[in-house]
């Protein structure tokens, strides 16, 4: 028995791809992913139209997607994250219907509740056998735990593994079992694993960033949560990683052993695990090749599904057990709402990813951000796009002061009594505006090009087409 089909074109015909279908992709290969482009190229040749692209992440490498939007092959996008030219194309109105931006957990929720129905899931498979058993940890394009692809594998009508490493049946270890997979297609390369690690996963060297990281560490130390058994998640931004680095040193110094670190996993966290400073890592996505290697080799480094990571409608999920999240922001308003989807020019530059999930789940959510970015204030009166609601944010740390959400009385009291430069958030905004001037309002058309959901599915904001 074999499910191996000779080419992507052949499998698309076999499964009878049709106008209006929803096709899905996972982004564990990030900016090194070749699979989405390969599949869309073949789909373009077949000539089907009006597809929904349910991709967990879209990167600069996916620029050819813009042409498919223009040609009405892809008319809707459902995603957690977009960086690069596709985001710009969307705010320029090139996608027929509004893109939907979900959090990681929100996407898992939408799939499991059948709100997001996937017709065909294409799974970039670093290793597969002829029956469709898949793992993400072996082969030349090994990319880690495949956590984001798990709901797609379970709920899509048809599941296609695209691999560049076909091995004898039965593959081992197995991450996605054969009973879920319809076909296997072998291609030359599914991606370039070297590009999993990107500019956003390098620790900052900027002195402002390091100052912010140092403040954030002090907030953690003062929070009452920094003790043996604590857990945390950091974003993969340069400042967040610097916080992880400082945290590492402080844990060592104080002999504090953490319970788990969660989320996108980096070398920084792998080192902490290996030094015995963490009991386990819960890895839904590896952010570099050290994390890919470690999740394969170290049983204390666990691959988890995205539902276990963050699905708010699941019976529980790991983010809801978090003590501390250290996250980034593109903008923060004076009600502590955070924008992480668009920049101050109104261009799509990201998405919630796990931001919304871990901010809501964790006991203490710290936003680390410079107060101004380029010539724009980060703390503002009104966000370009609300992504994560202010009720989920506890502390905003900038190089010029730290603001505490007055809703979190406990942390407010703890920090007011510290040596840290605690200021009202309106003060941060004031300082920012003094430096940059009040930003010019961005000019938009009325046309909605994106809808931003909270993890529970509620729309928190709309993205509109840009007027230049």
- Contacting positions for a second copy (CB under 8 A): 1, 3, 131-132, 154, 159, 168-170, 172-174, 177-182, 229, 259-260, 279-280, 282, 299-300, 302, 304-305, 307-308, 311, 314-318, 320-321
Pairing of strands 231-234, 183-186: unpaired
CB of 320 to a second copy, least distance (A): 6
Maximum distance among all Cα pairs of the chain, rounded to whole angstroms: 70
How many secondary structure helices (H) and strands (E) does the chain include? Answer: 14, 26
CB of 206 to a second copy, least distance (A): 34
Is the peptide bond between 61 and the residue preceding it cis, with omega within 30 degrees of 0? no
CB of 1 to a second copy, least distance (A): 6
CB of 298 to a second copy, least distance (A): 10
| Number of other residues whose CB lies within 10 A of the CB of residue 421 | 14
Tokens of 53: 């692209």
CA dist., res. 142 & res. 127, Å (int): 8
Angle at 260 between CA 255 and CA 265, to 5 degrees: 110
CB of 39 to a second copy, least distance (A): 19
CB of 396 to a second copy, least distance (A): 26
CB of 302 to a second copy, least distance (A): 5
Which of 368, 279, 354 lies closest to 319 in space, CA to CA?
A: 354
Residue with Cβ nearer a second copy (44 or 174): 174
CA dist., res. 40 & res. 64, Å (int): 9
CB of 31 to a second copy, least distance (A): 29
Residue with Cβ nearer a second copy (279 or 391): 279
Residue with Cβ nearer a second copy (168 or 188): 168
Residue with Cβ nearer a second copy (175 or 429): 175
Report helix, strand and coil shares of the chain as percent, to nearest 5: 35, 25, 40
CA dist., res. 259 & res. 225, Å (int): 12
Residue with Cβ nearer a second copy (172 or 445): 172
Residue with Cβ nearer a second copy (65 or 156): 156
Residue with Cβ nearer a second copy (304 or 364): 304
Which of 126, 200, 123, 196 lies closest to 155 in space, CA to CA?
A: 123
CA dist., res. 322 & res. 318, Å (int): 7
Is the peptide bond between 13 and the residue preceding it cis, with omega within 30 degrees of 0? no
Residue with Cβ nearer a second copy (174 or 442): 174
CA dist., res. 58 & res. 77, Å (int): 10
């Amino acid at each position: 028995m074999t499910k191996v089909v000779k080419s992507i074109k052949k499998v698309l015909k076999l499964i009878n791809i049709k106008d209006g279908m929803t096709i899905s992709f996972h982004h564990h290969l990030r900016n090194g992913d070749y699979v989405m482009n390969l599949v869309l190229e073949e789909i373009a040749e077949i000539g089907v139209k009006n597809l929904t692209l349910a991709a967990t992440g879209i990167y600069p490498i996916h620029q050819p997607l813009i042409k498919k939007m223009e040609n009405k092959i892809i008319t809707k996008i459902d995603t957690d994250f977009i960086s690069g030219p596709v985001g710009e194309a969307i705010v320029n109105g090139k996608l027929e219907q509004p893109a939907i931006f979900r959090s990681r957990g929100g996407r898992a929720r939408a799939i499991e509740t059948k709100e997001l129905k996937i017709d065909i899931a294409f799974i970039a498979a670093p290793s597969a056998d002829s029956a469709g058993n898949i793992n993400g940890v072996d082969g030349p394009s090994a990319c880690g735990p495949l956590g984001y692809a798990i709901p797609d594998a379970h709920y899509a009508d048809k599941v296609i593994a695209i691999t560049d490493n076909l091995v004898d049946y039965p593959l081992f270890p197995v991450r996605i079992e054969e009973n879920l997979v319809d076909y296997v297609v072998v291609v030359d390369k599914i991606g370039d694993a070297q590009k999993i690690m990107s500019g956003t996963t390098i620790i900052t060297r900027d002195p402002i960033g390091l100052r912010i990281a140092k403040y954030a560490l002090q907030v953690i130390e003062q929070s009452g949560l920094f003790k043996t058994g604590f857990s945390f998640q950091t974003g993969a931004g340069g400042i967040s990683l610097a916080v992880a680095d400082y945290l590492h040193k402080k844990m060592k110094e104080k002999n504090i052993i953490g319970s788990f670190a969660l989320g996108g996993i980096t070398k920084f966290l792998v080192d902490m695990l290996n030094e015995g400073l963490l009991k386990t890592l819960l890895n839904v996505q590896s952010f570099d090749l050290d994390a890919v290697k470690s999740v394969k080799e170290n049983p204390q480094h666990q691959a988890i599904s995205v539902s276990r990571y963050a699905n708010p409608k699941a019976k529980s999920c790991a983010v809801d057990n978090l003590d501390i999240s250290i996250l980034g922001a593109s903008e923060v308003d004076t009600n502590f709402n955070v924008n992480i989807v668009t920049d101050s020019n109104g261009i799509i530059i990201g998405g919630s990813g796990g931001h919304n999930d871990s901010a809501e789940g964790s006991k203490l959510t710290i936003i680390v951000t410079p107060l101004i970015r380029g010539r724009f204030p980060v703390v503002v009166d009104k966000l370009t796009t609300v992504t994560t609601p202010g009720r989920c944010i506890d502390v905003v740390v900038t190089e010029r002061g730290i603001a505490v959400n007055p809703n979190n009385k406990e942390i407010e009291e703890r920090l007011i009594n510290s040596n840290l430069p605690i200021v009202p958030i309106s003060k941060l905004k004031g300082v920012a505006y003094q430096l940059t001037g009040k930003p010019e309002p961005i000019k938009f058309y009325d046309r909605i090009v994106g809808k931003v959901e909270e993890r529970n599915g509620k729309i928190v904001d709309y993205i509109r087409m840009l007027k230049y």
